[in-house]
Structure 1
Amino acid sequence: MKTESGVTHYASRNDYIQSRNTPKASELVKKSIADSSKGLEDKVQLSDEAKAKSQLASEKSGLKETVKGNLKQNKTELKKASKHLLSDAVSVAKNAFNMPGLGTAVDLASKLLPSNTPAQEVKEILSIKESPGESIGPKIIFVSGLHLAGISSDNEGLSAMAGEVDNAQHFSWKDEESILKEINRTPKNEPLVLVGHSLGGDAIVNISNKLNSFANGFRKVDLLVTLDSVGFDNDIIPKNVKKNLNYIGNKDAFFNDGPNIARNNSKTDVLNFLRSESHTEMDDSNDIQEAIFNEIDSILEAKKKENNESQMMKSFLKKMMTEMSSEDILK
């Protein structure tokens, strides 16, 4: 027991030893609770780590499958693009070297081209459903070039521009026949604008040449915008094109046609612009997009004015006919 002076007295030596070595009950309870909490924290920590590792493994597996899928798709896309460029090169060679001996070599190169049937068809950027009848209104078409999964974005460049223009359409460079069908559904008095980047630029020049034929009614193209076109033989712009804006990158090693030339200067206005942007940046350039927008806006405003004047003339003639009929009746 304790005295008033703070000195503790024990009944015997054994009583002192037992009192000194035996921990208090409250301390034992605290220690037990602390040990239990530590064990629980360790278990929770281990559980969180296990979940994180499991999630990381799942993400790695998903990323691996995505990369594998993209590589497989891109391989097919690159094969198609290579075949297209090689076909252009062979066509140029045939036209430039129509000499004995060279024709055999060129024909041999033609036979070495990849098969027309790819191992796996790549889904087009936009698939147009067949629709009977006419497609009324201005026809504004954007055509993208090579689309590589995991690298190219459908939400930038020409795709984004097409989304900002009323009734505009966005196609892949591989969709030439679908584009021609869509154009031929549109009345000839409606404006036609074609904007293409990379292989898409090459495609819209091909389309313009095809439109300049008896089969397609010698259809006029109000505006042709070629953004760093990739090809070999499409630098001459046909006379059915009213205006061509041609933007060329000055530091890329692609097969760019170079400056464009009008087949008939009195019918076609060709403007060439040398740009500092890289090939992939060309269609995202703010001032290029602004120039395209202004040209399209000018064409649409002119058509709107023409329609208004035509409507006013129709109303005037209708009014005159009505008044003349009234006078005849009074007579």
Structure 2
Amino acid sequence: MNDEELVRRIHRELADSYDEELELEIEDRTIEELAEGVDARSEQDKEDRRLYFRELFRLQAELVKLQDWVVATGHKVVILFEGRDAAGKGGVIKRITQRLNPRVCRVAALPAPNDRERTQWYFQRYISHLPAAGEIVLFDRSWYNRAGVERVMGFCTDDQYEEFFRSAPEFERMLARSGIQLIKYWFSITDEEQHMRFLSRIHDPLKQWKLSPMDLESRRRWEDYTKAKEIMLERTHIPEAPWWVVQAVDKKKARLNCIHHLLGQMPYGEVEHSPISLPERVRHDDYFRREVSSEIVVPEVY
């Protein structure tokens, strides 16, 4: 990739990053307006964005139906999102949860274990985040940290690493036997694409916080992470909880493909709801609304 192409792709990445905010404005904008974007684009780019938004909103409507079915049937779902830094895991998680009830569909993004957690059974701190009936839990990274970052960065011993591969398939079979459906996604990007996304984050003040020292070190150890990923997929791909690889170089296509695939993993259907009617407000003659003190009113700067 030459410098001119790299700059063009970084600019496009920055422009695409604002699409998330535009997606939330669908009630106020048409797809045609959204397709115009934040900068000048070719007609093909605009058509691609129109298709993206049309499909995204259609799939999100299906996710709402899926949510209703999960609640109605008491289904329990765990979805793991794994992949390299900047692979797009957070982006698809946002699109999945964007229009769902956070009491039904929630995200678990655990920090590094503390001193006490390091002495626990490895899977113990994840268990409290597992779903009850009628819940969906999305893990933004998961117990597979041990097979990836912990292995590559030397945060676990060889014995702990091997014990993980003995335990993980049994742990996941136990989840399946208990009625929890486990779906595992690996987001795959190229060396070149990660390089470009990291540069984009460096040049975007709103995203620089996403680049931790660990992320930068992972860039240097690309090949070590590749080897660890290959071993992980080989040793933990089981019938009860297979791995699914999402081609994620194109972020928008990755989001659509992942959500489409996710919807196909459950036999959900339309759930009948009772008609909703707004009741009349009860009024009392002795009720008077008190004035709010101006001292506690937020100033209307805008």
**TM-score, with length taken from structure 2:** 0.30
Between Structure 1 and Structure 2, whose CA radius of gyration is higher? Answer: 1
* Greater relative contact order structure (CA < 8 Å, 6+ sep): 2
**TM-score, with length taken from structure 1:** 0.28
